[in-house]
Amino acid sequence: ASLREFLRCLPKCEHHMHLEGALSPQLLFELAAKNNTTLPQDDAAFKSPEALLERYRRFTSLDDFLHYYYIGMSVLITHSDFEALAWDYFRHAKADGVAHAELFFDPQAHTARGVGYSTAVAGFDAACKRAEKELGITSILTTCFLRHLPVEDSLAAFDAEDVQESYVSGVVKGIGLDSSENGYAPEGFKELFAKARHQGLNLTTHAGEEGPVSYIASALDNLRVRRIDHGIKLVYDEHLMKRIASENIMLTVCPLSNVVLRCVNTIKDVPIRKLLNAGVKFSINSDDPAYFRGYILDNYLAVQDAFGLSVEEWEGIVRAGINGSWCGEDRKTILL
């Protein structure tokens, strides 16, 4: 119990959390009822929140999860739906001792359904502002682009007037890439990332989650990111691992996600010890907490259970997370 308390009290920064992945089966059914959303009739998983949660226990791959993830978000329609979703996340974050959260969302997944970008972003932003005021949690919103769609779609989404407006106003501060990985190499998105970099946005991308380690190198060289989401395949390339350590690139590792999506067999196979030994900076994150049976503290506890890290090692991990955050130096100083 005291170990849990120690981990809970650490000033944790979360860098890899998809807001749509914080949609609990409970809230999903509530919003479906309110919005008259038609859920798939031919899939018994959608009979009840309990059945859905049960189905979430046997994902077979990233794409098997994404199928449910994209159906799930079809219940999000109004400003208040997006705000309620983000607020649900922040309540868990507070209970888990999160100090600062950098949050992904998927604009294309909403605009493709006819839900306005501004509706989503305004709802999320309202929850972020309330979280800072009422819970003391600071946060940053990041637009993720869907790599399974044509590159032209992501460029058009990035250039859209309301999206650009959110970058200029500072409501959204970064871009990333997510969704299906294999077959969608980072270099295809070079132009998108060059544009974002010239606008001064923060850059990150999912790489080396289910896909090959070569995608991590491509993300560094072609997208010029200084952060990699997941990146667990890094341990298959000794030379790249040294480079990532020396260039101070941070990985946002998501242990429970990796097990649930079968990227690894058990938490012990998440390369926590190898990354520590190689001096690679990383943070520990929840990814899609409502789908993977755990928020950030559950991920910390799973790592502690599997690796038995020392107090000093935990403090080092948390410090690296603060230093690797996209918040201002003033906020970092408070957290450190």
Instruction: Write out the catalytic residue numbers.
Output: 209
With H, G, I as helix, E, B as strand and everything else as coil, classify residue 160: coil
Among 14, 81, 83, 209, binds ligand ES4 (CB under 6 A): 209
Rounded distance between C-alpha atoms, residue 81 and residue 284, angstroms:
28
CB of 178 to Zn ion, least distance (A): 5
Rounded distance between C-alpha atoms, residue 285 and residue 130, angstroms:
22
Among 92, 100, 110, 206, binds ligand ES4 (CB under 6 A): 206
Torsion of CA 75, 252, 141, 289, to 10 degrees: 30
Rounded distance between C-alpha atoms, residue 226 and residue 247, angstroms:
8
- Residues 166 and 121 sit within 8 Å (Cβ to Cβ): yes
Binding mask 17-56 for ligand ES4 (x = CB under 6 A): -x--x-----------------------------------
- DSSP single-letter state for residue 252: E
CB of 261 to ligand ES4, least distance (A): 6
Q: Indicate the pairing of strand 227-230 with strand 281-284.
A: unpaired
Q: Binding to ligand ES4 (CB under 6 A): which residues in 221-280?
A: 257
Among 7, 62, 232, 253, binds ligand ES4 (CB under 6 A): 62
Q: Is 64 part of any known ligand binding site?
A: no
CB of 139 to Zn ion, least distance (A): 16
Q: Is 239 part of any known ligand binding site?
A: no
Q: Which residue is nearest to ligand ES4 (CB)?
A: 178
With respect to ligand ES4, which residue has the nearer C-beta, 210 or 314? 210
Rounded distance between C-alpha atoms, residue 230 and residue 92, angstroms:
22
CB of 38 to ligand ES4, least distance (A): 23
With H, G, I as helix, E, B as strand and everything else as coil, classify residue 292: coil
The kind and range of the H/E element at 222 are: none
Binding-site size, ligand ES4 (CB under 6 A): 11
β-strand partners of 163: none
Q: Is 198 part of any known ligand binding site?
A: no
287 binds Zn ion (CB under 5 A): yes
- Among Zn ion, ligand ES4, none, residue 102 binds (CB under 5-8 Å by kind): none
Give the residue carrying structure tokens 């201002």.
Answer: 328
- The residues, any chain, with a CB within 8 Å of residue 190's CB and separated by 6 or more, are 222, 223
Rounded distance between C-alpha atoms, residue 294 and residue 250, angstroms:
22
CB of 104 to ligand ES4, least distance (A): 7
Chain positions contacting Zn ion, by CB under 5 A: 287
Q: Which residues are annotated as a binding site?
A: 16, 18, 206, 287-288
Q: Which residues are annotated as a binding site for Zn(2+)?
A: 16, 18, 206, 287
Chain positions contacting ligand ES4, by CB under 6 A: 18, 21, 62, 69, 178-179, 206, 209, 257, 287-288
Q: Which residues are annotated as a binding site for substrate?
A: 288
